[in-house]
Amino acid sequence: MTDLSYKDWKSKAAALKFRNQCFISGTFCDAISGAKFETLNPATGAVLTAVARGNGDDIDRAVKSARSAFDSGVWSGKTPSERKEVLLKLAALIRDNIPEFALLDTLDMGKLIKDSSTVDAPGSAHFFQWHAEAIDKLYDEIAPTGGRDIAMIRRVPLGVVGAVVPWNFPLDMATWKLAPALATGNSVVLKPAEQSPLSALFLAELAVEAGLPDGVLNVVPGYGQDAGQALGRHDDVDCLVFTGSTAVGKLFQRYAGESNMKQVWLETGGKSPNIIFPDADLDAAADMAAFGIFFNQGEVCSANSRLLVHASIKDEMLERMKTRAEAITPGDPLDPASTLGAMVDKSHTDTVMQFIESGRQSSRLITGGERVTLNGSDAFVTPTIFDNVESNHKIARDEIFGPVLAVQTFNSDDEAIAMANDTVYGLAASVWTKDLSRALGVSDALNAGTVSVNTVDALSAMTPFGGMKQSGYGRDLSIHAFDKYTALKTTWIRY
């Protein structure tokens, strides 16, 4: 979609229609209370639309709808091949509507249209397609009991899945949950983030157009504290999948423990280290290190927010990083030539600026650190690099979720490993070296769900994505994602 010009995107944006109600039982409806909340475009501050503000009553209605769809067998009883056909149609419909999906996410949360139209929206189609194609290629098992017994071990869907997702990749985070949950035959109630509910509502409409029966996918926009909590505490939800902050992930564990002990799968925060050894290709490392922290305004759970550089190459590396950071400047997200979009909202921008202030106190600012006003919105932050960061500094410990890089130096492999693992998180890590033994040795020693060697943030539908430690547990993507949405059921037959 890179062939659309700035003018094209602006005129498409002006003509865009927003779905802004709850989607329950295959139709759009207001919240039972009639309440609404406004969703804004952070790049201008403009109100896009007032969206139905679901609460516990709407969640209950959506769960009942999901349960009755599940129990009826209208989706759960379909064969994997039949489900595949519907989800492939959905993937095709998403592909037919890439500009619209790209605009919905860009307008709703400030990411670059360049990225939403080439990464997020095509990615969603791809992930639906991948899980659809995989589902009728999974075989069940027969245990090697011998004798006159057959013990069949089958994957069965769980029932009603609740999904609560964040705003940084609104369409894709929803897709990562929905594609495997639906492919395995579950019904779902999805609560998108309050900052970015619009693409999920369009997705639900297209799912029904693709042939997904009513009630199998329900979307209830609303606030985490009411709609999100109600889903987490609902006694008829079998499984709750979540992507978001570690603090809220812990709340979902509590909600489950205080209600029906539903399964909870968490993808939470990160503070991923990117380790640069002296033998690395420094130009390539700098290109990817800049991408690793500044892509999507740094609002990436696996962002490489800590750059650990060997002392002997620190100056060379810092110089390269400074040049790259300064080539990235805030611009209108709708302009395909822009290199950095808006932060998701004012309040998150305030938070990021507080971290920058803390960095100014503790460390040495190399570049950036500025809040910028564009088109009437001050939700823009310039790419920021701090040097002389110590492991106990706030900017080295906390997830900032903004374009802020903390640089630390090490003198030995062991020191690099210890520094990299000195965090409560364990989502991702990167290692740059031409030495294969060092690459493998260091990778083995890192506590991270994904280690990328001589690249950053490597990711594919084919590989599991998720964390260790307080970055959560359970995996999105790949065949392993199906594990979260199915139970193993054993049936013995004696003959």
* Chain residues in the site for ligand NAP (CB under 6 A): 164-168, 173, 191, 193-194, 223-225, 228-229, 232, 243-245, 248, 251, 267-270, 301, 399, 401, 427, 467, 471-472
Task: Decide which of Mg ion, ligand NAP, none touches 180; Cβ closer than 5 to 8 Å per partner kind.
Answer: none
Task: Decide which of ligand NAP, Mg ion, none touches 269; Cβ closer than 5 to 8 Å per partner kind.
Answer: ligand NAP
**SS3 label, residue 50:** strand
CA distance 407 to 305: 9
Structure token digits, residue 283: 């130009």
Please state the closest distance from residue 48 (CB atom) to Mg ion, in A: 6
Known catalytic residue at 301: yes
Task: Decide which of ligand NAP, Mg ion, none touches 245; Cβ closer than 5 to 8 Å per partner kind.
Answer: ligand NAP
Given the complex with ligand NAP, which of 49 and 245 has the nearer CB atom?
245
- Of 22, 194, 205, 267, the catalytic one is 267
Q: Interface mask (CB under 5 A) for Mg ion, residues 230-249, using x and -?
A: --------------------
- Rg value, the chain, Cα: 23
Give the sheet arrangement for strand 384-387, strand by strand: 364-367, 384-387, 404-410, 306-310, 273-276, 428-432, 450-453
Given the complex with ligand NAP, which of 93 and 251 has the nearer CB atom?
251
Please state the closest distance from residue 182 (CB atom) to ligand NAP, in A: 19
Please state the closest distance from residue 267 (CB atom) to ligand NAP, in A: 3
Please state the closest distance from residue 380 (CB atom) to Mg ion, in A: 15
Which residues on adjacent β-strands are paired with residue 50?
A: 38
Please state the closest distance from residue 167 (CB atom) to ligand NAP, in A: 5
Among residues 307, 490, 339, 324, the alpha carbon closest in space to that of 416 is found at 307
CA distance 285 to 281: 6
Subset of 95-154 contacting Mg ion (CB under 5 A): 108
CA distance 40 to 47: 4
State yes or no: residue 195 binds Mg ion (CB under 5 A): yes
* Residue 163 buriedness (CB in 10 A; 0-12 / 13-18 / 19+): buried
Furthest-apart CA pair in the chain: how many Å?
76
Question: Over 119-139, what HEC string results?
Answer: HHHHHHHHHHHHHHHHHCCCC
Please state the closest distance from residue 408 (CB atom) to ligand NAP, in A: 20
Given the complex with ligand NAP, which of 161 and 165 has the nearer CB atom?
165
Given the complex with Mg ion, which of 108 and 115 has the nearer CB atom?
108
Structure token digits, residue 396: 């080295």
Task: Decide which of ligand NAP, Mg ion, none touches 39; Cβ closer than 5 to 8 Å per partner kind.
Answer: Mg ion
CA distance 123 to 116: 9
Among residues 272, 329, 240, 294, the alpha carbon closest in space to that of 468 is found at 272
Among residues 192, 205, 201, 196, the alpha carbon closest in space to that of 231 is found at 192
Task: Decide which of Mg ion, ligand NAP, none touches 108; Cβ closer than 5 to 8 Å per partner kind.
Answer: Mg ion
Please state the closest distance from residue 342 (CB atom) to Mg ion, in A: 10
Task: Decide which of Mg ion, ligand NAP, none touches 362; Cβ closer than 5 to 8 Å per partner kind.
Answer: none
Task: Decide which of Mg ion, ligand NAP, none touches 270; Cβ closer than 5 to 8 Å per partner kind.
Answer: ligand NAP
Known catalytic residue at 22: no
- Of 22, 194, 205, 301, the catalytic one is 301
Among residues 454, 406, 388, 443, the alpha carbon closest in space to that of 421 is found at 443
Measured in degrees and rounded to the nearest 5, phi and psi for residue 167 equal: -100, -5
Residue with the CB atom nearest ligand NAP in the bound state: 224
CA distance 404 to 159: 41
* Residues involved in catalysis: 267, 301
Residues that bind Mg ion (CB under 5 A): 39-40, 108, 195
